[in-house]
């Protein structure tokens, strides 16, 4: 475990944004389901991505790591007896691979760490009950055994889109057609768009009926391909915020036509008053006087922590709504960001599914903790830019979950860090 002390100071320069973790998970699994060899390029081996690599290996795929490329020899991913998949803290790994593990009638055990055991699995439990699939428990560690059958799968739109994605991976390989029926308005639509896009790249067709239902034809086959992962807007959000808060940060490696929901950070920063310059080669954020804003983040929940930081340093009172699902992430992110920003001198007020934030010119600084959550750690690091005193972040290595080089990049942009390894 590491603690990092950050001295106040602006960040400036050019930064190549790491690849989208969301797209990388999906591409690895699709390649593992395809016959023949696929190559996934522009990969960062974060803890979550390593968990998915380990998962598809456990199910029979051959994955070779070659610097920032993955060479994947796919198969149907039919598990062997006594297969164990260690998801670490990755909800995507768990929820994507569960339906796939039911393509063969072998027992598969899922284990994990941290908050993963408390993250909900009810939509799959209901399916297991309906289809007489064995499950040993309702949370991790859990063993499941049985064969997934085609049919109509009813899911609430307010649940994590990861359950829908998991079914979209497995259902095309069944003998008969299936439909995923969404019983209330769908949140995080962009993640479903990403899934459908990746599946199309690997030869799988999903028919989207205005996000109310998804028709999935059976007897489809995944096709091997070459796939390059685009840059991650959820990670770019931290550096763009750094630019807007007083620096001059230019991000490269981002797709202008991305379907990532976290691309909303660009419009949000413009609304708050930042200067955002977009060209074919880069997206640049420069500071202007930031003003309060209101946003419903139900379609882009991952950028909520950094939005709270921006709001805390903008003039006026901001409101972040549609945030109920943030309570069941790697930690309770609403409580975490409220608690830690207030330690730095912010005025953040937590409600059931929202935050109200009174902005100010600068924060005080002090000791904070990441709550073991990568996005909380990164958001607090950006908050340090506008603090009067140093910020000590305890358990800063939580960033390894998604962005292991985050603090190296922070230093590269001029940040002054003092690290302390706590063993």
- Tell me 362's DSSP state: -
Q: Which of 115-119, 204-208, 334-338 has the lowest mean pLDDT?
A: 115-119
What does the pLDDT read at residue 23? Answer: 98
**Residues 336/380, Cβ–Cβ less than 8 Å:** no
| DSSP states along 231-286 | B-HHHHHHHHHHHHTTSEEEEES--TT---GGGHHHHHHHHHT-EEEE-SS-EEEE
What does the pLDDT read at residue 76? Answer: 73
Q: Against a cut of 0.85, is the pTM above it?
A: yes
Of 347, 289, 353, nearest to 318 (Cα)? 347
Of 19, 20, 27, nearest to 201 (Cα)? 27
Catalytic hit among 302, 373, 400, 409: 302
pLDDT (mean) for 253-262: 94
Q: Indicate the Cα dihedral angle 235, 241, 246, 248, nearest 10°.
A: 50
What does the pLDDT read at residue 364? Answer: 97
H or E stretch at 123? helix 122-130
Q: Indicate the Cα dihedral angle 124, 129, 131, 133, nearest 10°.
A: 80
- Report whether pLDDT(423) > 90: no
pLDDT (mean) for 80-99: 93
- Report whether pLDDT(80) > 80: no
- Report whether pLDDT(79) > 70: no
| DSSP states along 317-337 | EEEEES-GGGGGSSS-HHHHH
Query: What is the spatial distance between Cα 178 and Cα 213, in angstroms, rounded to a whole number?
Result: 10
Query: What is the spatial distance between Cα 348 and Cα 340, in angstroms, rounded to a whole number?
Result: 10
Instruction: pLDDT band for 101, please (50, 70, 90 cuts).
Output: very high
pLDDT (mean) for 111-127: 93
Query: What is the spatial distance between Cα 364 and Cα 348, in angstroms, rounded to a whole number?
Result: 14
pLDDT (mean) for 42-63: 96
What does the pLDDT read at residue 280? Answer: 87
pLDDT tens-place string over residues 348-383: 999 999 999 999 999 999 999 999 999 999 999 999
Q: How much of the chain, in percent, has pLDDT values that exceed 70?
A: 99
Please count the other Cβ atoms lying within 10 Å of the Cβ belonging to residue 411.
Answer: 12
Of 315, 254, 243, 322, nearest to 284 (Cα)? 243
pLDDT tens-place string over residues 312-359: 999 999 999 999 988 988 899 999 999 999 999 999 999 999 999 999
Of 161, 198, 204, 202, nearest to 180 (Cα)? 161
Q: Indicate the Cα dihedral angle 407, 27, 194, 93, nearest 10°.
A: -70
- Catalytic status, residue 86: no
Q: Indicate the Cα dihedral angle 200, 205, 207, 211, nearest 10°.
A: -40
What does the pLDDT read at residue 329? Answer: 85
What does the pLDDT read at residue 247? Answer: 86
Query: What is the spatial distance between Cα 101 and Cα 120, in angstroms, rounded to a whole number?
Result: 18
Instruction: pLDDT band for 119, please (50, 70, 90 cuts).
Output: confident
- Report whether pLDDT(150) > 60: yes
What does the pLDDT read at residue 159? Answer: 85
Instruction: pLDDT band for 419, please (50, 70, 90 cuts).
Output: confident
Of 196, 199, 206, 151, nearest to 175 (Cα)? 151
Query: What is the spatial distance between Cα 221 and Cα 204, in angstroms, rounded to a whole number?
Result: 7
What does the pLDDT read at residue 139? Answer: 93
- Bond preceding residue 342 cis, omega within 30 of 0: no
pLDDT (mean) for 174-194: 95
- Report whether pLDDT(305) > 60: yes
Residue given tokens 């109200």 in the structure block: 356
Provide the CB-side half-sphere exposure for 241 (13 A, CA).
33
- State the average pLDDT for the chain: 95
- Report whether pLDDT(420) > 70: yes
Q: What are phi and psi of 7, to 5 degrees?
A: -85, 140
What does the pLDDT read at residue 82? Answer: 77
Q: Which residues pair with 214 in a beta bridge?
A: 180, 208
Which tokens sit at 415?
């940040």
Query: What is the spatial distance between Cα 180 and Cα 161, in angstroms, rounded to a whole number?
Result: 12
- Report whether pLDDT(200) > 60: yes
**Positive or negative: CA dihedral 15, 28, 48, 120:** positive
H or E stretch at 111? strand 108-111
What does the pLDDT read at residue 187? Answer: 86
Q: How much of the chain, in percent, has pLDDT values that exceed 90?
A: 88
- Please give the domain boundaries of the chain with CATH numbers for all domains: 2-17+231-421 (3.65.10.10), 21-212 (3.65.10.10)
pLDDT tens-place string over residues 207-254: 999 999 999 999 999 999 999 999 999 999 999 999 999 988 999 999
**Positive or negative: CA dihedral 240, 243, 248, 249:** negative
**Residues 214/180, Cβ–Cβ less than 8 Å:** yes
């Amino acid at each position: 475990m590491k603690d990092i002390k950050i001295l106040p100071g602006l960040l400036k320069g050019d930064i190549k944004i790491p690849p989208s973790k969301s797209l990388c998970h999906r591409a690895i699994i699709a390649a593992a389901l395809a016959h023949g060899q696929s190559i996934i390029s522009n990969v960062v081996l974060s803890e979550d991505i390593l968990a998915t690599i380990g998962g598809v290996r456990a199910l029979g795929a051959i994955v070779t790591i070659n610097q920032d490329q993955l060479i994947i020899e796919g198969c149907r991913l039919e598990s062997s007896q006594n297969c164990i998949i260690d998801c670490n803290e990755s909800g995507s790994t768990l929820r994507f691979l569960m339906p796939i593990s039911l393509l063969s009638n072998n027992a598969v055990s899922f284990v994990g760490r941290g908050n993963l055991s408390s993250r909900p699995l009810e939509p799959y439990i209901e399916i297991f009950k309906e289809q007489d699939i064995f499950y040993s428990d309702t949370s991790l560690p859990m063993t499941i055994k049985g064969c997934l059958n085609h049919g109509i799968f009813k899911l609430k739109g307010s649940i994590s889109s990861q359950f829908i994605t998991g079914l979209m991976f497995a259902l095309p390989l069944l003998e008969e057609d299936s439909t995923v029926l969404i019983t209330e308005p769908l949140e995080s639509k962009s993640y479903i768009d990403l899934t459908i896009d990746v599946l199309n790249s690997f030869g799988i067709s999903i028919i989207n009926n205005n996000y109310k239902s998804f028709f999935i034809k059976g007897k489809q086959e995944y096709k091997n391909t070459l796939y390059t992962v685009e840059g991650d807007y959820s990670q770019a959000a931290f550096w763009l915020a750094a630019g807007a808060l007083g620096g001059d940060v230019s991000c490269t490696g981002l797709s202008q036509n991305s379907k990532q929901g976290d691309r909303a950070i660009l419009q949000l920063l413009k609304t708050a008053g930042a200067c955002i310059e977009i060209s074919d080669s880069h997206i640049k954020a420069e500071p202007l006087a930031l003003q309060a804003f209101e946003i419903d983040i139900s379609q882009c929940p991952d950028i909520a922590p950094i939005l709270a930081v921006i709001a805390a340093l903008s003039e006026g009172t901001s409101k972040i709504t549609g945030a109920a699902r943030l309570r069941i992430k790697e930690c309770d992110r609403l409580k975490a960001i409220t608690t830690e920003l207030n330690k730095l001198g912010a005025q953040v007020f937590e409600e059931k599914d929202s935050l109200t934030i009174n902005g100010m010119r600068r924060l005080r600084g002090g000791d904070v903790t990441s709550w073991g959550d990568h996005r909380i750690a990164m958001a607090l690091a950006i908050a340090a830019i506008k603090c009067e005193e140093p910020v000590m972040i305890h358990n800063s290595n939580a960033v390894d979950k998604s962005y292991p080089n985050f603090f190296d990049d922070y230093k590269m942009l001029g940040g002054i860090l003092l690290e302390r390894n706590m063993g």
